[in-house]
Structure 1
Amino acid sequence: MSFSTDVKNELARVTDEQSCCHVAELAALMRMGGTMLISGHNTVGVNFTTENAAVARKALTLIKHGFGLATEVVVTRARRLKKANSYHVRVAPSPVVAKLLAELGIMRGEVINAGRDMGLLRKACCRRAYLRGAFLGGGSVSRPEGEYHLELVTGNHDFAKTLVRLLKSFGLPARMTDRKQDFVVYLKDGDAITSLLRIIGAHNALFAFENVRVVKDMRNQVNRLVNCETANLQKTVNAAVRQVESIRLVAARMGLDKLPPSLQEAAELRLAHQEATLQELVDLADGRVGKSGMNHRLRKLEQIARDLEGKE
């Protein structure tokens, strides 16, 4: 079962007490997965389609309990690809359905409202319910173990713009793009996705997302620290190898006894402790020189070696 399915199954069990929220949620559901059925008697019906049984039950409950309409559920099975079940919640054409569509804001008189539902979204609770319905009808979210990505897919451009404005009203950095015949409203920030899950009431999914996210962030932090430590260790090893080679060249060309006492001491310490870090060499010097002083002496030895090579 995908993470998106887990989220939808949880959201399908969320119930609002206020009837205005039922209307907002059903309006978004219908805009995502609903179609109008027009009969020969100038009456309309409704068909809502989904592949999630829990979402179908939620749509059925909102239609029957909120509006008292007679409904039927038809289950079909695809013959190709994944052969998943499709659930069709149907309301037969009747004059009463026109009143339903008008209350949902889908019809304004005899004109279809393209997707500007701001009249339904005056209250914060209705805005949350509307986003929940949009996710139930056409949303998906990737598992937190991978890249963070949540999207709402619709074929209605005006509805997609309404979703973007609504998400931004909650401070979420929503963006929109097109994909073939559809419009995709998406979030790619982990904080934004967890905020949306909280807003629409998917609290169990939120906790699961955050748990994985914490482990993932901790693992990434440990990897960064290990990589940094490895890089520093490699730099230390490279510097030590370079210094030892320079000191050996100086010893072979002119002899270490020709060096000033401070450089001779540094050269002997490095030759005796070839894997030691700079701080460890300072400690071995028993406080006679600091870290910057030891570094200066080793650099001076490298410079002498370069000069000797240049003369030759």
Structure 2
Amino acid sequence: MARKIFKLLKNLFGLSTEILVQRKVRLRKNNVYLVRIPSQAGIEQILKALGIGEGGFAFTEEGIVKDLIVKDCCRRAYLRGAFLGGGSVNNPEGTYHLEIITDNLKHARDLAGLMQTFNLPAKVSPRKNWYVVYLKGSEQIVECLNHMGAHGAQLDFENARIYKDMRNQVNRLVNCETANLNKTVTAAVRQLEIIKYLVDTIGLDKLPKPLRETAELRLRHPDASLKELGELWDPPVGKSGVNHRMRKLERLAEKVRSRKENHGFIES
């Protein structure tokens, strides 16, 4: 960023500029780059172009100086500069969040309005002594990066988002398959218990042919789903047909159990 400012000052205003490097001594001991403009003719031109007044170098307007964002390219450049000065994007592996911070409420609202001219639904929220202009949607963040000309970051964000979406989709499918498998196993265990109860009480030979064949297939294929059981018939039977026969077996078992409890024996 320091190199970019250095080039812009030289190319646009022809000023002599210096880049100074300082090293922090607290917390993260990283380098801080300062762009210094020595006293020379033409500095006033920069201040005027940036909308900076003479009194203590304060901004002449609290919000965005309108002359700076007349053209579409100027709005994009301002947005890019605001982001470079106080913006950040969360790692898309987590929550989607892009923000730009400023210490002035009107500036924050103007910045949100500028973003909205690009159909970006930016919102403003206070945070301690700052105001945060933020986006939450992944598609809006991608669009914002594109408008700012951060195409490399845009591609990285897109790749991370696609990977995250694919991983979430795989997890959902695995969870769904696991739930279906658990449901199938639970149902099969219950069906086997019912059939074994009927074998021990009245015997399968007393059952109607469709129910007897259903019970025998379940005993031979304890892990099969209802659909798979139906495909073993000749001709095949649909899942609903197999389920209907299983329900009949269950009702029959309940009837036998009720008679046994009430009379202590099973009528043939």
TM-score by length of 2: 0.84
Aligned counterparts of 2:133 and 2:107: Cα–Cα separation in 1: 10
The alignment status of 1:65 with 2:11, answered yes or no, reads: yes
Residue of structure 2 aligned with 1:261, choices 197, 209, 212: 209
Residue of structure 2 aligned with 1:88, choices 30, 34, 44: 34
* Structure 1 position 98, deviation (Å): 4.8
Question: What code does the residue aligned with 1:125 have?
Answer: C
* Structure 1 position 81, deviation (Å): 0.3
Relative to structure 1, the CA distance from residue 72 to residue 307 in structure 2 (aligned partners, 3 Å threshold; closer, same or farther) is same
Instruction: Please say which structure displays the higher CA radius of gyration.
Output: 2
Residue of structure 1 aligned with 2:126, choices 160, 173, 178: 178
Structure 1, residues 114-142: CA drift from partner, whole Å, max 9, x if none? 12333322211111111111111111123
Question: 1:106·1:114 contact (CA, 8 Å) conserved in 2?
Answer: no
Structure 1, residues 36-74: CA drift from partner, whole Å, max 9, x if none? xxxxxxxxxxxxxxxxxxx12222333343234454444
Residue of structure 2 aligned with 1:75, choices 12, 21, 29: 21
Question: Unpaired runs of 5+ in structure 2?
Answer: 262-268
Aligned counterparts of 1:213 and 1:230: Cα–Cα separation in 2: 25
Aligned counterparts of 1:59 and 1:271: Cα–Cα separation in 2: 79
Question: What code does the residue aligned with 1:79 have?
Answer: V
The alignment status of 1:300 with 2:225, answered yes or no, reads: no
Aligned counterparts of 2:38 and 2:87: Cα–Cα separation in 1: 27
Residue of structure 1 aligned with 2:95, choices 144, 147, 169: 147
The corresponding residue for 1:165 is: 113
* Structure 1 position 95, deviation (Å): 9.0
Structure 1, residues 213-264: CA drift from partner, whole Å, max 9, x if none? 3233222222222222222122111111111111112222333233222212
Question: 1:106·1:115 contact (CA, 8 Å) conserved in 2?
Answer: no
Task: Choose between structure 1 and 2 for higher RCO, CA contacts under 8 A separated by at least 6 residues.
Answer: 1
The corresponding residue for 2:172 is: 224
Question: 1:117·1:162 contact (CA, 8 Å) conserved in 2?
Answer: no
The share of aligned pairs that are identical, in percent, is 54
Aligned counterparts of 1:164 and 1:260: Cα–Cα separation in 2: 75
Question: 1:98·1:107 contact (CA, 8 Å) conserved in 2?
Answer: no
Residue of structure 2 aligned with 1:133, choices 78, 81, 85: 81
Aligned counterparts of 2:19 and 2:137: Cα–Cα separation in 1: 37
Question: Unpaired runs of 5+ in structure 1?
Answer: 1-54
Aligned counterparts of 2:258 and 2:104: Cα–Cα separation in 1: 75
Question: What code does the residue aligned with 1:103 have?
Answer: A
Aligned counterparts of 1:308 and 1:177: Cα–Cα separation in 2: 69
Aligned counterparts of 2:107 and 2:199: Cα–Cα separation in 1: 80
The corresponding residue for 1:244 is: 192
Aligned counterparts of 1:309 and 1:78: Cα–Cα separation in 2: 82
Aligned counterparts of 2:257 and 2:25: Cα–Cα separation in 1: 79
* Structure 1 position 153, deviation (Å): 1.6
Aligned counterparts of 1:267 and 1:309: Cα–Cα separation in 2: 18
Aligned counterparts of 2:256 and 2:9: Cα–Cα separation in 1: 92
The structure with the largest strand share of the pair is 1
The corresponding residue for 2:222 is: 274
TM-score by length of 1: 0.73
* Structure 1 position 93, deviation (Å): 7.1
Relative to structure 1, the CA distance from residue 269 to residue 156 in structure 2 (aligned partners, 3 Å threshold; closer, same or farther) is same
Q: What's the Cα RMSD here? A: 2.6
Aligned length: 258
* Structure 1 position 296, deviation (Å): 0.3
Question: 2:64·2:111 contact (CA, 8 Å) conserved in 1?
Answer: no
Aligned counterparts of 2:254 and 2:136: Cα–Cα separation in 1: 53
Question: What code does the residue aligned with 1:58 have?
Answer: K
Aligned counterparts of 1:288 and 1:222: Cα–Cα separation in 2: 32
Relative to structure 1, the CA distance from residue 74 to residue 287 in structure 2 (aligned partners, 3 Å threshold; closer, same or farther) is same
